[in-house]
């Protein structure tokens, strides 16, 4: 069963608590760019978050080049941002804090 899609106000309220995250132009996803000291640290972050995402059964769209990881979160079967996306974004922020 899919999670309910959040409206623009709920997404904005959620993003206020998530440093570095922004909504996409169409409001159907949230994004953040992470920068690490080197490739190993970027990959370690991705490995750690892969385990979290698997436990949540919610998987990010991400792109990695050397020390950068760009993340897009959306819930495809709901057609936009849900609480799952905000929860995974929060976990990612805690991992780099």
Query: Is-above-0.75 flag for pTM?
Result: yes
CATH code for 8-96?
A: 3.30.1360.20
**Nearest to 41, CA basis, from 69, 21, 71:** 69
Task: Break the chain into its structural domains and give their ranges.
Answer: 8-96
Helix axis angle for 39-56 and 83-96, nearest 10°, is: 150
Give CA–CA dist 88/55, Å, rounded: 11
The predicted-structure confidence for 35-79, as pLDDT tens digits, reads as follows 999 999 999 999 999 999 999 999 999 999 999 999 999 999 899
| Number of C-beta neighbours around residue 86 at 10 A | 21
């Amino acid at each position: 069963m899919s999670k309910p899609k959040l409206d623009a106000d709920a997404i904005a309220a959620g993003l206020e608590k998530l440093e570095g995250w922004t909504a996409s132009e169409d409001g159907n996803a949230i994004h953040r760019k992470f920068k690490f000291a080197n490739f190993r640290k970027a990959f370690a972050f991705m490995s750690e978050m892969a385990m979290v995402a698997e436990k949540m059964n919610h998987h990010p769209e991400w792109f990695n080049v050397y020390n950068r990881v760009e993340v897009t979160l959306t819930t495809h079967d709901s057609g936009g941002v849900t609480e799952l996306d905000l929860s995974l974004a929060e976990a990612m922020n805690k991992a780099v804090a």
